Amino acid sequence: MINLKAIFTSLIEALEISDPYTKGHSERVGSLSVALGLELGLSTRELEILKDAGTLHDIGKIGVSKDVLNKPGSLTSIEFDEVKRHVLYGYNILKPLEQPELLDITLLHHERLDGKGYPYGTTDLPLLVRVAQIADVWDALTSDRPYRSAMPLAKARELMGGKDNTFGFDPGLLETFLRLTRFIFPEDDCDPFEMTNLYSEIAAIKIGDHLDKPAVYA
C-alpha cells in the first residue's frame, strides 16, 4: 500500500535540495494554514488537507531553473514567467495522487480575489486556497530570500493589512490571520531561534485533539 505521507516527505526533500532558500518554508506554510484553520473551526479532513497542501504547494519549483530561483537580484519578465510556471509544474507532479483539494491549493495559491493573480487570473477560489495563500505570503515576507532579508513581523503585518489589500486576500480571513499572529508571535522582534521554536509548537498540534475545544488562539 502506498504511503502518501512518505511520498510527501520525499517530494519536499527533493525540493529543498533543488532550492535551499525555501528550506522550512513549506512546513511553516502548512503549520500556519492549520493554525488559521483551527481558528476557523474547520474539520479534521480540511485541516489535514491544509497541512499536506501547505507542505507541497511549491513542489513545482523543482522544475524551475536554480539560477532563477536563487538569483539575488530582481527577475526579468522572462525569468518571472518561468517562476510562475511552478504552479503548473506542481499540479502535474501531484495530479496522479488524485487529491482534488491538494491540487487546488498547488495550482491556485498565487491567484487573487481581485483577478490579478496567476496562472489564470481567476477569482473563484475555494476556502482552503484562500487560507493557504495568506500563510504563504506571511512566511515569504518574514523569512530570508536570495534577494532580501526577512521583513520584521510588525512590518509584514502592516503591509498585509493595509487598506488597499495589496495581495488581494479574503479580507475576513486576513483579519483573523493577522489577529492570530499577535498571539503566535507575541514579540515583533522575535529572533530566528525563537521563531523556529514557535513554529515547532504549531506543527506539534495534534489536529484531532483540538476540534472539540475552543479556538487555540481566540
- Packing angle between helix 153-160 and helix 171-184, nearest 10 degrees? 170
Q: Which of 128, 150, 126 is nearest to 139 (CA)?
A: 150
- What pLDDT does 213 receive? 37
191-211 pLDDT per residue, tens: 655 666 666 666 665 555 544
Based on the residue annotation, tell me whether 23 is a catalytic residue of this protein: no
**Angle of the 86-94 helix axis to the 77-84 helix axis, nearest 10:** 20
Q: Is the pLDDT of residue 216 over 50?
A: no
DSSP tag of 145: B
The whole-number pLDDT of residue 16 equals 76
- The pTM score is 0.84
Catalytic residue among 5, 23, 61, 116: 61
**All three cell numbers of 159:** 503591509
Preceding omega of 72 cis (within 30 degrees of 0): no
Percentage with pLDDT > 70 across the chain: 82
Least-confidence region, from 51-55, 147-151, 157-161, 191-195: 191-195
Q: Percentage helix, strand, coil, to 5, in the chain?
A: 65, 0, 35
Give the pLDDT score at 215: 35
DSSP assignments along 95-114, one per residue: GGG--HHHHHHHHHTT--TT
**How confident is the model over 37-90, as pLDDT tens digits?**
999 999 999 999 999 998 889 999 989 988 898 888 888 999 999 999 999 999
Is the CB of residue 5 less than 8 Å from the CB of residue 111? no
Between vectors from CA 107 to CA 44 and to CA 11, what angle results, nearest 5°? 75
Q: What pLDDT is stored for residue 27 in this prediction?
A: 85
